[in-house]
Each structure stands twice: as C-alpha cells, then as structure tokens.
Amino acid sequence: MKRIQLASESDVLALANLYRQTVLTWGPRYYTPAQVTAWASFTSETDQFRAFILQATTFVARNHTGILGFAGIAEDGHVTSAYVRQDCIHQGIGSALMRNLLEYAQSRCIQRLYAEASEFSLGLFKKFGFQLYETEMVERHGVQFQRFLVELKLNDQRRHCRNDSGLPHDCG
C-alpha cells in the first residue's frame, strides 16, 4: 500500500538519490551519455536541489520499501517535478502522484497546469490530457537538451476551491 504525503526537509537527500538513480537508469534510453551525466549532476547542486523540492508543494509517494516517487507543483500551476524510483516505473506511481497534483490544483483554483517535460515524462503528461504546445532547447553544464512544453487547462470549479486553511473560498 502506498501513501502520499508532503515532502519535508528530511526527505531531500533521499529524493536527490531517487532523482539521480532514475535519471542514470532511464535516461540512456532517450538521451546521450553527456546529456544523462549533465542531468544527473543537478543533485550535486545541493542548495538548488533543496529549493527545487521545498519551494514547490512536493508530494512524496511511500510504501514499506521507502520512497517510490515525488511530484511538485508551484502555486502558479507549474509542475516542477515528476520522478518515480527507477525500479517502480510503469507501476502506477507516477499516475497516483499526477492525480494528487490535479486534485491539489483544483482545490486551489489553479486554472492551468504547465511543465517542461522530458522525453521519458512526456507520456505521463499526455496520459493526463496535457497538450504539447512548443519545444525548446535548454543548456545544462554546456550540454543541449530538448524539452517539451505542455499544458493542461482545468475546468472552472470555483465552488470546490479551498484556501490555505482548507475552508471553501471564492477564487473569482
């Protein structure tokens, strides 16, 4: 059985490990060795990785074996992360985390979700109805990457919105 909880400071090291192992294991299926090395190196930028996790609302899926994956969302609807432990991919963890993000967004009256998807996360976003609207080239440590810009427009459900206290409020 898995449970999904908010990430905490004490999770950051384990999340960095998961991120690195997933990129090193699954990245070579889609990216060059130089791209995989550059991407995985993000975890060595400790302060930036900590901010990546803690400045968004990041949810962590866990079970008796430990952390299974994580996904984050900013208050403006930016899906900042979606990573699943390398040995748990295609087992429903990413989908559970994405459903959690969608529920969170709807409860906060976020009208549009958007993300910069990788080659291997693009399928998850498309599965949940995200539409590709552009591609971009970015550079990390001197290495070029193509990213897929995706978005999902959510239905207006203002009466179901909640504020930080959990009480209903009007988003209009």
pLDDT digits (tens, 9 = 90+) for 112-168: 999 999 998 999 999 999 999 999 999 988 999 999 999 999 975 554 555 554 444
Instruction: Record the pTM.
Output: 0.89
What is the Rg, in whole angstroms, of the alpha carbon atoms belonging to the chain? 16
Measured from the Cβ of residue 43, the count of other Cβ atoms closer than 10 Å reads 20
122 inside domain = yes
Read off the pLDDT of each residue in 103-116 and give the average, rounded to a whole number. Answer: 96
Residue 170 domain-assigned (yes or no): no
**Residue 165 domain-assigned?**
no
Q: CATH number for the domain including 30?
A: 3.40.630.30
How many structural domains is the chain composed of? 1
Determine the straight-line distance between the first and last CA of the chain, rounded to whole angstroms.
38
Q: Are 136 and 129 in contact (CB under 8 A)?
A: no
Q: What is the pLDDT of residues 28-87, one digit of tens each?
A: 999 999 999 999 999 888 899 999 999 999 999 999 999 999 999 999 999 999 999 999
Q: Residue 31's domain spans which residues? A: 3-160
Q: What is the pLDDT of residue 2?
A: 77
How crowded is the C-beta side of 72, counted as CA atoms within 13 Å? 19
**pLDDT at position 136, please?**
95
Of 161, 152, 169, 151, residue with least CA distance to 109: 161
The rounded distance, in Å, linking the Cα atoms of 79 and 81 is 6
